[in-house]
Amino acid sequence: MTDALVVTGIVVISMLIRGLSAGYPLAINGFDSWYLFYNALLITHAGGNWYAVPPDVHAWYPWGYFIEKGDTIGLPFLVALVSMLLGNSANSVYTVTMYADIFLAGMGVVAAYLVGEALSGSKGGGYIAALLVAFSPALTSKNIVGGLPKSSWGGLLVLFTIYLMYVGSKKGKAWYGIPAGVVLFLAEITWGGNTYIIGTLAVAAILTVLLNRNNEVTAKLYTVAGVTTAFLTSLAPNSIGFMSGAAHGLGFLLVGVILYIDLYLKKHLPKEYIDATPLIMGALGVILVGLVLVGLVFSGKVDVIPTRYFAIINPFYQATVPIDKTVAEYIPQSVTSMIRSFGTSLLLLIPGVYFILRRGNLAELWLLALTVVSVYGTSEQPYLFNYTAYVLAATAGVGAGYIISTFYSNRTIRMSKALPAVFIALVAFSMAADAAVAVQQSNIPNAIVNSASPYPYPSYAWIDALDWINNHTPTDSVIFSWWDYGYWIQVVGNRTVIDENNTLNGTQIRLMADMFLNNESVAANILERNFHLYPYGNPNFTRPVYIVAYDTVTEYTASGSPQWYLGYPPSYGSPFVGYTTSFGDIAKMGAMMTIAGYPLSDFLNDTLIYSAINQTQAQFSNEPQVASFIESSIVQATSFAWTNRTYQALLPQMFIEALQAQGGTVIQPFSTRVLITSSQILVVGNPLPTVQLHYFQPVYIAMTPLVSSNGTPIGGPNYVSYVMVIIYQFVQPGYIAPVSE
């Protein structure tokens, strides 16, 4: 009863932390969750039949793309089934989607407790594992209200699988493999980390044999679980199952073969060779796995292993894929970032690994393999962080349980109160730090509510723009934008896009980069030549084409009439000194250059930065604090140190023209001078010439300031920054874009 009360209390704490974002306007969280929600709607409309879902005609124009079955369909499928119990409507799907993550927050605590307590044999280990999940900073940004984090659901279900396999092994009941296999099937279709799962199971099987811990119950239990999972996943639509992915289904069976060959050799080899059986089998398994991996690395064959995972095995491969070099979730993390994400779990990892190696069976060794591989994988590609948090917490709980058990079993330590006190204080202090970070990072609005800004202030520019797209563009419109916003436009705007967040088509992402980085004539040529789309007013016109871009802009009023600056002040709220930074498409121009294969020097002029710093040091030589503040702003404004080519590119010209249409003067970046008087700081700069594009006309501009919780604009002395989403239509020169009703 006490255990239930304690775990329930931790569950409530975990739910409350993840529910903090409900204090802001509610919306589905992030980007991928919108597409998963969309998939759930499609499955619900198909009556829960995941084989009958129609193709997604809005994705990747002109190709279209069938609903992402396989690893993506699992979570929407489960959401759809639960939604159908509540009423089989779009509202019920939305409700389940909104609160699924709160349920996940609670069940994650339960799973971590069960695994931590069972494997360590200590309730204290279970409690600590549960607390590590509840307080995990890694389970925040993607795991708040409205999130559908596939990898977190995968981590949760993997923990339940490990628990069932462990209990079955301890009780000698091979039939536990059936529920374990069912849960692992759910993990497979929900997360899709098939390579992680089968690869770590193979490692665990080799370790089990090598450490001489294989027995008939273990082999039977695993085989029942593996066959169950392989059979069920063979029924899943598309690209995941046994029949469509031989490496996946056969992999489960081959791991079982390793265990049974070991048992066979033990029974039939002469006695003098029996002791060497584990070493022979272990060495054979390591050699086979090693040869396969080495062959893949040197051959460049990544068909068997998805490119994301192949890049983890061979980090040099990642440098050859432009899109991987520009996506934050694929860029290796620093040690400090890992500590911030996982905190106390990393502290207790080593004793957990030691304890499992000392006595672990197949289930425990699988947890060990998952943890070690996941920690390494997350250090290489951070998108795995909210899966790693679960297995790492369980292993850390096992380590804590081992330490606690040692305190009780060792008389010398038990008599000394210092060591237990130091351990408890260290863990408590570290967990308090984790909890503080988790609370801070969970108390944020969903990305669409604050327009994906780095500040926890609502800004409804994207919501406004998407609403306009949905209600004021023809249904056959094609929307061009940078890939980050593809799911929003596709799902909320309900329009066809040429790229989206899954980055499946690198060719079209590169074409989008080419359009933004070149002048409008090049962009128009790409639309006509590559996509066979023609401007409104052209005799070949078939369907409307719009281009969407977004960034921040700053209105400065100290000099009288409004002056506009692209971007926002790096030290937002502090005095404005004329230098700005970006968190939107202008900041992403560097990624566009990398993907399109253009030298950075073609678009960014380092000389402007050095010149501005030197000028500042000379002007404020007697005021070092002022000089330091301005220099810091200059360094953070490098995205706007433009060359002449940048000023001719479509993306900057779209923003300049849209701002000029708002009235006031648009100031040229890196042309400003700071004048300090007794009463104020005055910033002056050179106005940009008027821009008027010929092939692209602004049809809608959504601008909303960053605001406080009561709706008051947040800015600094004499300025306010806005999030601006601009929508242009592709129009034949000499024609005017039609006015939408």
Last residue of one domain, picked from the residues 407, 442, 477:
442
438 and 531 in a single domain? The answer is: no
Query: Last residue of a domain, which of 409, 442, 475?
Result: 442
What is the C-alpha to C-alpha distance for residues 138 and 135, in angstroms, rounded to an integer? 9
Nearest residue to 309 (alpha-carbon basis) of 291, 296, 299: 296
478 and 387 within one domain: no
Domain count for the chain = 2
Structure tokens at 229: 């999972």
Question: In this structure, are 178 and 29 located in the same domain?
Answer: yes
Checking phi first, is residue 367 left (phi over 0); if not, alpha (psi -120 to 50) or beta?
alpha
Q: Residue 453: inside a domain, yes or no?
A: no
Q: Check whether residue 174 and residue 260 sit in a common domain.
A: yes
**Counting Cβ atoms within 10 Å, is residue 197 exposed (0-12), middle (13-18) or buried (19+)?**
buried
* Together in a domain, 482 and 355: no
70-79, 441-450, 579-588, 619-628: the lowest-pLDDT one: 70-79
Note the pLDDT tens digit of each residue in 113-172: 999 999 998 898 999 999 999 999 988 878 888 888 989 999 999 999 999 999 999 999
Judgement on whether residues 165 and 302 belong to the same structural domain of the protein:
yes
241 — pLDDT class (breaks 50, 70, 90): very low
**Mean pLDDT, residues 701-714:** 79
Average pLDDT score over residue span 248-253: 74
Residue 456 lies inside a defined structural domain of this protein: no
CA 30, 52, 227, 295 torsion-angle sign: negative
Is residue 506 in a domain?
yes
Q: Which amino acid is at 482?
A: W
Cα torsion 72, 74, 77, 83 to 10°: value is -100
Same domain, 68 and 128: yes
Q: Among 73-87, 249-263, 636-650, where is mean pLDDT lowest?
A: 249-263
Would 119 be classed as within a structural domain?
yes
Show which of 442, 469, 502 is a domain's final residue.
442
Q: What pLDDT is recorded for position 639?
A: 94
Q: What pLDDT, on a 0 to 100 scale, did the predictor assign at position 273?
A: 58
Q: How many CB atoms lie within 10 A of CB 665?
A: 17
pLDDT at 4: 87
Separation CA 706–CA 715 (nearest Å): 8
Q: Is the pLDDT of residue 71 over 80?
A: no
Distance of CA 657 to the CA centre of its chain: 33
Q: Is residue 455 part of a domain?
A: no
For 536-594, what is each residue's pLDDT tens digit?
999 999 999 999 999 999 999 877 788 999 999 998 888 899 999 999 999 999 999 99
More confident residue, 175 or 414: 175
pLDDT score of 242 more than 60: no
- For residues 536 and 502, membership in a common domain is answered with yes
Same domain, 319 and 412: yes
pLDDT in tens, 456-468: 888 899 999 999 9
587 with 603: CB under 8 angstroms? Answer: no
Please tell me whether residues 510 and 402 are part of one structural domain.
no
User: Residue 512 pLDDT more than 50?
Assistant: yes
Residue 99 lies in a domain: yes
Chain centroid, CA 693 distance in Å: 36
Residue 93 lies in a domain: yes
At residue 142, what are phi and psi to the nearest 5 degrees? -90, -5
Q: Do both 337 and 190 map to the same domain?
A: yes
Q: How far apart are CA 384 and CA 329, in angstroms?
A: 8
Domain range for 252 is: 2-442
Pair (473, 364) in one structural domain: no
Task: Encode 342-383 in three state secondary structure.
Answer: HCHHHHCHHHHHHHHHHHCCHHHHHHHHHHHHHHHHHHHCHH
CA 205 to chain centre: 31
| Sign of CA pseudo-dihedral 373, 376, 379, 381 | negative
Residue 451 lies in a domain: no
pTM of the model: 0.90
Classified as helix, coil or strand, 613 is helix
Q: At 467, list the tokens.
A: 């609403």
Question: For the stretch 87-117, what's the b/e string if a residue is b when 16 or more beta carbons lie within 10 angstroms of its beta carbon?
Answer: eeeeebbbebbbbbbbebbbbbbbbbbbbbb
